[in-house]
């Protein structure tokens, strides 16, 4: 019999939701493993910095409960990568606690592995000093100061820690930050299948039914064999077509043909896409080029300050006609008055986003000669040191957007329509990416300790 492994992914991210019927249809096809990717760097630096989950715990719990029941009933592994959105320690512990709670309430029993991805600053400093860390995307070399300032640093694991956890008999594997395809690549490589189709399968499964049409958050069933991969959504309302699959190679990658992963590069330039039915596609021709040096991507963020925002709009054509001068006046007033209560200009950044002009594209906006009959504003202050001071400067900016006079002004009671009371919102700590590097490692598992427990 041809060697194969059958893999079921429930959605693009744990907590995005999926139809229960799609999970049942997938389970009826006897998968060898079910799983889901838990996160992404795409929602920005906040989640890694704050330790909060990207999806709500309520939504995560709903998905996790269904998946746990399905996996335990079928006696197959459940594997979840990048738990909690960012894959740091608080994110992993949130999902682990949830799994323990669900198991206790519902009488489920299993061996669980937690694979940690959060890195100690001492360890990163030591590796950096040894010259084994370099920047990605033109990032400067790491310094001790940047490492010390970081709020949290995670390493992005490849398939090897997942393989180790599964080899040690874990039925439920919850991992911190991992390469999105890694849990799936692990299952296929562990089944003695070659890395090229293993990684390709992972690339499809990490996004659930996204490689199908109509696109949506739903389940995808993938069969991996020696020289090809077959993809089919389990919801009969969706189909994979050669074009929908081919296009998925474009997703969130700098190159559509060269996909750099821990340990090597998946090359999709010679892929063939053949329909095996009107809903399933067979992909062949992918190749895997092993790297001479195994590297692990590092992601880290640092605190950039505290944000407060206010939403407002204007319908006044006289103000819209001299907007830039008006905003300059507001900024000048805010600078003076905020300095009077101790917020000097070097301690905060004031942003006034103008929706209806260039709110979406900023200086890359090519349309510069048309302003609508109304404009929306998001007024924003990020203060370096405190939420209280951010709120104080924002309040001053809001008051001056409302009341600052301008030549020819008729709307003497106020320039801005505020949709909310209160108008000002404390957003909380603001983070920025500070570490986006790769570390050379001797062993793919050395940055990712695994703990086992019986639940």
Partner 1 sequence: MATIRETARVCKSKNAGPFELTIDVVFDNADIFNRVKATGVLCPDLFARLYNVPAEHVLFTPYDAAFAFKATFPRLVPAGEFGDTDVYGCQQHAPLLDVDLPI
Please give the residue ranges that form the binding site for partner 1 (CB under 8 A).
41-46, 136-139, 243, 246-247, 249-257, 268-273, 304, 349, 351, 353, 358-364, 366, 382, 430-433, 436
Report in angstroms how near the CB of residue 382 gets to partner 1 at its nearest: 5
Candidates 447, 441, 433, 346; CA nearest to 140 is 433
Beta strands, E only, 38-185: 78-81, 111-115, 133-135, 150-156, 172-175
Which residue, 406 or 436, has its beta carbon nearer to partner 1? Answer: 436
Token couple for 236? 């009969």
CB-wise, 6 or 307, nearer to partner 1? 307
The least distance separating partner 1 from the CB of residue 117, rounded to whole angstroms, comes to: 17
Q: Which is nearer to partner 1, 57 or 285 (CB)?
A: 285
Which helix (H) or strand (E) segment holds residue 23: the answer is: helix 20-27
Strands 348-355 and 258-261: unpaired
Helix (H, G, I), strand (E, B) or coil at 401: helix
CB 226 within 8 Å of CB 242: no
Q: Of 171 and 244, which has the nearer Cβ to partner 1?
A: 244
Give least dist CB 367 to partner 1, A: 9
Cβ neighbours of residue 346 under 8 Å, at least 6 residues apart? none
Reading the block at residue 300, the tokens are: 């880290």
Shortest spacing between CB 125 and partner 1, in angstroms: 22
Q: Which helix (H) or strand (E) holds 324?
A: helix 323-340
As measured in angstroms, the least distance from the Cβ of 180 to partner 1 is 12
Whose Cβ is closer to partner 1: residue 32's or residue 261's?
261
Q: 210, 150, 202, 148: which is closest to 178 by C-alpha?
A: 202
Output the smallest distance, CB 430 to partner 1, in A. 7
Nearer to partner 1, 42 or 278 (CB): 42
Q: Is 125 helix (H, G, I), strand (E, B) or coil?
A: helix
Nearest partner of 35 among 78, 65, 91, 6, judged by Cα: 78
Residue 445 has a CB neighbour count (10 Å cut-off) of: 17
Measured from the CB atom, the residue of 136 and 450 that comes closer to partner 1 is 136
CB 121, min distance to partner 1, A: 20
**Is 279 exposed, middle or buried (CB count within 10 Å of its CB: 0-12, 13-18, 19+)?**
middle
- Closest distance to partner 1 from the beta carbon of 344 (Å): 17
Kindly give, in sequence order, each residue whose CB lies less than 8 Å from that of residue 388, ignoring residues fewer than 6 positions away: none
* Cα atoms found within 13 Å of the Cα of residue 89, Cβ hemisphere only: 10
Q: Which is nearer to partner 1, 6 or 239 (CB)?
A: 239
């Amino acid at each position: 019999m041809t060697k194969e492994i059958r893999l079921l992914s429930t959605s693009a991210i744990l907590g995005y939701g999926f139809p229960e019927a799609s999970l049942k249809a997938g389970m009826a096809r006897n998968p060898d493993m079910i799983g889901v990717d838990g996160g992404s760097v795409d929602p920005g630096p906040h989640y890694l910095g704050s330790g909060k989950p990207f999806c709500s715990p309520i939504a995560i719990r709903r998905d996790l409960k269904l998946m746990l029941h399905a996996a335990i009933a079928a006696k197959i592994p459940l594997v979840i990568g990048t738990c909690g959105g960012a894959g740091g320690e608080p994110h992993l512990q949130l999902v682990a606690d949830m799994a323990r709670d669900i198991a206790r309430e519902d009488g489920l029993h299993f061996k669980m592995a937690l694979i940690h991805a959060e890195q100690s600053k001492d360890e990163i400093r030591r590796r950096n000093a040894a010259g084994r860390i370099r920047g990605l995307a033109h990032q400067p070399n790491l310094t001790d100061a940047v490492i010390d300032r970081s709020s949290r640093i995670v390493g992005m694991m490849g398939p090897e820690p997942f393989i180790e956890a599964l080899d040690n008999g874990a039925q439920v594997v919850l991992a911190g930050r991992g390469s999105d395809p890694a849990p799936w690549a692990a299952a296929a490589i562990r089944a003695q299948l070659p890395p090229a189709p293993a990684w390709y399968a992972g690339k499809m499964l990490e996004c659930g039914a996204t490689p199908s049409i109509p696109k949506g958050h739903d389940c995808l069933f993938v069969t991996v064999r020696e020289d090809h991969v077959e993809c089919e959504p389990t919801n009969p309302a969706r189909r994979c077509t050669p074009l929908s699959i081919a296009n998925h190679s474009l997703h969130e990658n700098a190159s559509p043909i060269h996909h750099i992963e821990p340990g090597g590069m998946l090359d999709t330039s010679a892929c063939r896409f053949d329909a095996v039915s009107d809903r399933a596609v067979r992909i062949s021709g992918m190749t895997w080029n092993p790297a001479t040096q195994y590297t692990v991507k590092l992601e880290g963020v640092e605190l950039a300050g505290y944000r407060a925002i206010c939403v407002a709009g204007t319908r006044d054509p006289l103000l819209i006609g001299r907007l830039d001068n008006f905003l300059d006046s507001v900024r000048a007033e805010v600078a003076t008055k905020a300095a009077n209560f101790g917020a000097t200009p070097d301690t905060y950044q004031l942003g006034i986003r103008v929706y209806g002009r260039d709110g979406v594209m900023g200086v890359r906006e090519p349309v510069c000669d048309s302003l609508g009959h109304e404009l929306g504003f998001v007024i924003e202050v990020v203060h370096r040191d405190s939420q209280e001071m951010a709120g104080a400067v924002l309040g001053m900016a809001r008051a001056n957007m409302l009341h600052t006079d301008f030549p020819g002004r008729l709307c003497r009671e106020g320039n801005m329509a505020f949709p909310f009371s209160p108008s000002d919102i404390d957003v909380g700590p603001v983070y920025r990416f500070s570490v986006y590097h790769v570390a050379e490692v001797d062993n793919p598992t050395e940055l990712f300790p695994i703990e086992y427990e019986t639940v």
